[in-house]
Amino acid sequence: MENTVKITAAEVNKLRQATGAGMMDCKKALVEAGGDFDKAIEVLRKKGQKVAEKRADRDSSEGAAVAKINADNTAGVAIVLGCETDFVGKNENFVKLANDLAEAALNFNTKEEFLASDFGGMTVADKLVEQTGVIGEKLDITAFEKLEAPFVGQYVHINKIAALVGLSANVDNADTLVKDLAMQVASMGATTLSYKDFDPAYVASETEARIAAIKKDNEELERLGKTLKNVPKYISMAQLTPEVLAQAEEDAKAELKAEGKPEQIWDRILPGKMERFISDNTTLDQEQCLLDQKFIKDEKKTVAEYVKTFGDVEVTGFKRATVG
């Protein structure tokens, strides 16, 4: 028997606003549900489940990274709403959903709590399933990072990288400082705050691997008659003990003496040589430690030196969420 339920445009639009599904999908769901709004939502959800099951093994490697900070700047969250294609990841409605989800995520400390929480009458996990059916691609929260501190700020790079940074105090111009630091985190990809956080075994194995790699490169450079790379003895400030630095200074003095430089001008030359020695032997810190990196807006300063220009404040932590 032909279904004679009359579905109005207003009812279709209401369902579309609630679910984000297309007009035809909404009309079909309402017809199937006999005009019952709640049943129509369930019809769409079941469709989403079927699509989600079919696409369960797909990779949500694209998407949108977003960050949100609470009203008093004491907590922030960075999430990635993942999808399968960049085309969907850039869609205006998809990005809006990512922002709405991030706003809700501010109230939770873990991804698991967030996925189980209410979002418009269903759990976040169910919303992702529903939208998988609407969009036709696997959706997932592929990154969830929460940060709390006396002052928290954020930076998002073209919805691909979201960064959070926490400060120990709300000092003058804290918003400028925290945005600059979050931009540093986003662009330079630090993994820890300071070289003091490194495990000695990690530094030792990384030193061995890096020296071996440089030596191998030098074999090829030598074969081509090109300038060889400097082979450092160390890669982190964690290795530059007072004894190591004292020996480096003695070696620098011996070089100056061999070069015939007058001893009375050594004091003017030694600081530069020691600075170069430290720079050459702390490459791991410069790559992975936020405070030890060169500040992207002024490479004459380290990030730590830039932070000091804002007075009595320290970086307490940072988080980074990336698409892919």
Among 3.90.1300.10, 1.10.150.20, 3.40.190.10, 3.30.479.20, name the CATH number for the domain at 62-188: 3.30.479.20
Give the highest mean pLDDT range of 28-42, 46-60, 94-108, 124-138. 94-108
Fold category of 9-54 in CATH: Helicase, Ruva Protein; domain 3 (1.10.8)
Dig out the tokens for 177 from the structure: 């400082």
- Given a cut of 70, whether residue 4 has pLDDT beyond it is no
**Cβ neighbours for 3, distance < 8 A, ≥ 6 positions apart:** 31, 34
Q: Lowest mean pLDDT: which of 52-56, 178-182, 215-219?
A: 52-56
Domain residue spans in the chain?
Answer: 9-54, 62-188, 195-312
- Given a cut of 70, whether residue 169 has pLDDT beyond it is yes
Give the predicted TM-score (pTM) of the model: 0.76
List, for residues 16-51, the tens digit of each pLDDT value: 777 767 777 788 888 888 888 888 877 877 776 666
Dig out the tokens for 7 from the structure: 């579905």
Beta bridge mates, 140: 82
List, for residues 252-286, the tens digit of each pLDDT value: 999 999 998 899 999 999 999 999 999 889 999 99
Q: Lowest mean pLDDT: which of 1-10, 27-36, 80-89?
A: 1-10
Question: What's the average model confidence in pLDDT over 82-95?
Answer: 90
> Is 162 in contact with 82 (CB distance < 8 Å)?
no
1 band by pLDDT with thresholds 50, 70 and 90: very low
pLDDT at 49: 67
pLDDT at 20: 67
pLDDT at 131: 85
Dihedral of alpha carbons 114, 117, 121, 124, sign? positive
Beta bridge mates, 192: 289
**Whole-angstrom Cα distance, residue 251 to residue 274?**
10
**Whole-angstrom Cα distance, residue 182 to residue 162?**
8
Count of other CB atoms within 10 angstroms of residue 37 = 14
Dig out the tokens for 315 from the structure: 């970086």
User: What is the average pLDDT score of the chain?
Assistant: 90
List, for residues 308-321, the tens digit of each pLDDT value: 999 999 999 999 99
pLDDT at 232: 86
Question: What's the average model confidence in pLDDT over 170-196?
Answer: 94
Percent of the chain topping pLDDT 90: 65
CA angle 21, 158, 111 (to 5 degrees): 60
pLDDT at 138: 86
